Structure 1
């Protein structure tokens, strides 16, 4: 909702019990945007407004460091440059690509493939342009929908990720509460400027206000207003740490998908010996453990099993 000047109605009026904005929010906004426009990390998806390319980058970035996402993103778009290309692809090939590039949960590849089909079949090849419409796509949650709406169409709400929460908590002493973060982020964002604003505030969290702050080195534009900078208290909200990938079920699920992408099918025990050197059919990491992984992948629609005499044979679902 906007007033006659195009500003967000009530953006700088602080309702009772709302987290307090700085006294001059326009100065805060201008300082951040100027800082971002002067210098920022050059990721290739920041140079496009193609919603498909941006969606791919957002999905890939969910569990992978950005410097590793860049080559995977470029390879993916070389292989499937449009939603039509991706929708027409063999899903097993898409899943195998995901696994080969160590991009996290393989079901995200399946969802991305299905989302491309929805864009082609349900939307005549054109992406929805608002968060609600984008949320209807397979595997696209509220955060990703808002990011695509912001970066592709400049039509999103304020993005609130881990970096943004940390920035608001430190800079403006925001309460460690999801609703408070959402409210403060929304009131700070200039109306109609979600693309530049969300890029800028996430850049601030990624470059200047990380777990180890680099206020002066990165030339943080909010130092004169920042509560943490003034007090020296750089604590941050508690954020659950990502479980270790090494030795995790995710790691072995990925190994299964990679192996099955190289061959048509494998017997269960043969698969077990290939993915784990200490595999023993009756051991701790034996058939029961392996069957649990295979069942998970089956539930995700990634693999299928068939009986071949006394053996269970596993293959990628085509």
Structure 2
């Protein structure tokens, strides 16, 4: 992180980093996508947005985010909620892995019991919360408290690789991203560089159409070579173990508890064979490990229910 200078030995920094910074920030402040979590510095709704947007396009998060906060408007409200209801909301809105909902609920409880109702303000402190890894912690610290390092996600890597020929190496990306970010301006800078990657420098770049504020310095724009680091592909959802786990939770929300012989056919219509009781027990074991489901033997019958 720097306030204007640069590391003289870093070959990937632009020749005029101050001009690069000014161009990007001016572009962002003049026009950017309006997401409601960008209009607040409250760490709670920002954390919710970050957890919801993991591997999910931002436009698809807006309505679930609003509904979630209408239902649980404060960290205190979320901590007091029934976990099965939080997980059920997650499932109903197809927000990805259900354990994210569980961890978000537990993190809310930690804020109250371990931090006197106040969110930690640093990336290191935020990582003490359940399910909050380095990327999410840094994003919340940046957007809520203006106290983070440079955020480095797939969009940012693509931008730095194309613009400044930064190699596909995590350490190099983090080093250059932090050198470019102005001191004490992580909120604006991280939003701006992520916006650049999301709006202009996507898989199919829109250099002139957007237009890109970094065309003057961009190696890819100069050479016409717009290759970029590989973008991880989302695992197929239809028929996946993740989808079936979600169905188990949905069914148990409806029926409260069910014997396995009744639960299985409600989870998948072709229940049996390789997708029979052994397969179902594996799903239940995973959900039990995540603290979402419990099952027990009663009079020779295995019964599953949501954990309260």
Instruction: Show the counterpart of 2:288.
Output: 298
Q: 1:14 aligns with which of 1, 4, 8?
A: 8
Q: Who is 1:285 aligned against? A: 275
The residue aligned with 1:69 is 61
CA deviation after TM superposition for structure 1 residue 309, in Å:
2.2
Structure 1, 78-87 or 234-243: larger mean CA deviation: 234-243
Does residue 33 of structure 1 match 2:25? Answer: yes
Map Cα deviations across residues 134-186 of structure 1 (whole Å, 9 max, x no partner): 01011100000000000000000000000000000000000110000000000
Q: Which of these residues, 188, 195, 200, is aligned with residue 203 of structure 1?
A: 195
1:271 to 2:271 alignment? no
Which deviations, in whole Å up to 9, do the C-alpha atoms of 1:119-145 show, x marking residues without a partner?
Answer: 011111111111011010111000000
SS of the residue corresponding to residue 295 of structure 2 reads strand
Cα distance per residue 1:11-58 (max 9 Å; x no partner): 41323xx34211111110010011111111111101111100000000
Q: Give yes or no for the alignment of 1:240 onto 2:229.
A: no
Residue aligned with 1:266, SS: strand
Gaps of at least 5 residues in structure 2 are none
Q: Distance in 2 between matches of 1:203 and 1:275?
A: 40
Match of 1:137 among 123, 129, 137: 129
> 163-172 or 236-245: which moved more?
236-245
Counterparts of 1:1-318 in structure 2, within 5 Å, are 7=3, 11-15=5-9, 18-280=10-272, 283-318=273-308
Cα distance in 1 for partners of 2:181, 2:67 equals 34
Q: CA deviation at 1:252?
A: 0.6
1-structure distance, mates of 2:11, 2:271 = 54
What's the Cα RMSD here? 1.2
Q: Which runs of 5+ in 1 are unaligned?
A: none
Equivalent position SS for 1:129: coil
Q: TM-score, normalised by structure 1?
A: 0.94
Deviation at 1:94, TM superposition (A): 0.8
Measure the CA separation in 2 of the matches of 1:205 and 1:225. 15
1:269 positional shift: 2.1
Do the aligned residues in 2 keep the contact of 1:19 with 1:175 (CA within 8 Å)?
no
Alpha-carbon separation, structure 1, partners of 2:7 and 2:194: 24
Q: Distance in 2 between matches of 1:12 and 1:183?
A: 11
Q: Contact between 1:19 and 1:180, CA under 8 Å: does it hold in 2?
A: no
